[in-house]
Structure 1
Amino acid sequence: MTTRVLLATRNAKKLEELRRIVLKRGLGSIEVLGLSDVEEFPEAPETGATFEENALAKAHDAARATGLPAVADDSGLAVAALNGMPGVLSARWAGAHGDDTANLHLLLGQLKDVPDERRGAAFVCAAALVVPGVREIVVRGEWRGTLVREPRGTNGFGYDPIFVPEGETRTSAELAPSEKDSVSHRGRALRALLPHLRELAEAQST
């Protein structure tokens, strides 16, 4: 029996990432859907003060609207020299939501005079699973590194081209998807949900 789980995103790369992780862990009985696979419903704006609040709110909205178990994530970049910003504002740091190029270049401009030894940062991801009427789970993953001064690489999105993970010389955007899945903030958070997804699939198969 196939268990359908909705990932509350229209981001094709996030959708493919969760699908890869699910298949790699042998959960082929789980079918991961995206928002384009279900009837459209009103999506509340992200107004939470934390990644966890935003992820949980999005998952609740999706589960309530569709009746499906729903996974949602909220993620962003926390820069030490900016006291943890842009944080939950990462996707709209330059004003318009989802303008990756503008966000990245604004951040680089703000860090122009920050020396290399103070350019530490971490990608943070909170992921929530809401099973209607049964449970809600929120987990967190972090990926630490430093920020370079010029974008490099074409894989990934957002701030990936300027983020060099600890122990690496390549940026996140220079890593292959399979490499990134095993170490990224989102990969870590999504893998933390896998035991709960497995339980869900086993419960629905009995």
Structure 2
Amino acid sequence: MKICFATNNKNKLEEVQNMLPPHFELVSLEKIGCTEELREDQDTLEGNSLQKAQYVFDTFGYSCFADDTGLEVSSINGEPGVRSARYAGNERDNEANIQLLLDKLEGKEDRSAQFRTVITLVTPDGTKQFEGIVKGKIISKKTGDKGFGYDPVFVPEGYDTSFAQMSMDEKNKISHRALAFNKLSDYLSSSKI
């Protein structure tokens, strides 16, 4: 059965295809003819992932899932949260986002944070959401050159290296995104979609 993942990121598509049951064929937005950038203007990760998946389902007729991820830092009221990619402006500048975060945390003792991913699946049978959370802390300077986004300043609980110092395999075993996708995969394996 074909199921759309609301992304055109080839790495993400390949990674997720390997996690899905074999009878599911993953298709990208490009493959179903969706060329526009999907809107993400909701106030929550749940709202953004639902908005994207629902749009694809309603417009193109494919069962679809979409994800949204945010970094939530305790001492600054959960910022950047749903605005993680655009924290320092609509340009989605990773360096500027990290610098703004470090500036806001200057002098704060509590640097606890969590990455949270929400996946929404929309099918003819309804809507289901899956969440993955990885707790950790924000370090005071960037370390490592792998990954993307806030990875160079995020150290997960139980580790002394940032996400940006970990190999992709290492990170994928513990990441918020992997946890959420594993829940999705388990659900798809046991459902009759």
Q: Give the 4+ runs in structure 1 shifted more than 6 A.
A: none
> 1:147 pairs with 138, 152, 159, which one?
138
- What runs of 5+ residues in structure 1 fail to find an aligned partner? none
Q: Is the Cα contact below 8 Å between 1:8 and 1:72 reproduced in 2?
A: yes
Give the C-alpha shift of residue 150 in structure 1. 1.5
Question: Given residue 118 of structure 2, which amino acid in structure 1 is its aligned partner?
Answer: A
The number of aligned residues is: 193
Q: Is the Cα contact below 8 Å between 1:41 and 1:65 reproduced in 2?
A: no
Give the C-alpha shift of residue 199 in structure 1. 4.3
- Across the aligned residues of Structure 1 and Structure 2, the Cα RMSD in angstroms comes to 1.8
- Where does residue 32 of structure 2 map in the other structure? 38
> 2:3 pairs with 2, 5, 18, which one?
5
Q: Is the Cα contact below 8 Å between 1:43 and 1:61 reproduced in 2?
A: no
Identity %: 36
Cα separation, 2, equivalents of 1:105 and 1:17: 30
Give the C-alpha shift of residue 137 in structure 1. 0.6
> 2:79 pairs with 71, 85, 94, which one?
85
Deviation per residue, 1:84-124 (Å, 9 max, x gap)? 01100111001124322221121112212223xx1100001
- Aligned to 1:75, what secondary structure does the other structure show? strand
Deviation per residue, 1:58-80 (Å, 9 max, x gap)? 11111222221111011110001
TM-score of the pair, normalised by structure 2:
0.90
Cα separation, 2, equivalents of 1:129 and 1:152: 35
Q: Is the Cα contact below 8 Å between 1:21 and 1:181 reproduced in 2?
A: no
- Where does residue 16 of structure 1 map in the other structure? 14
Cα separation, 2, equivalents of 1:105 and 1:197: 39
> 1:175 pairs with 162, 166, 187, which one?
166
- What runs of 5+ residues in structure 2 fail to find an aligned partner? none
Give the C-alpha shift of residue 48 in structure 1. 1.8
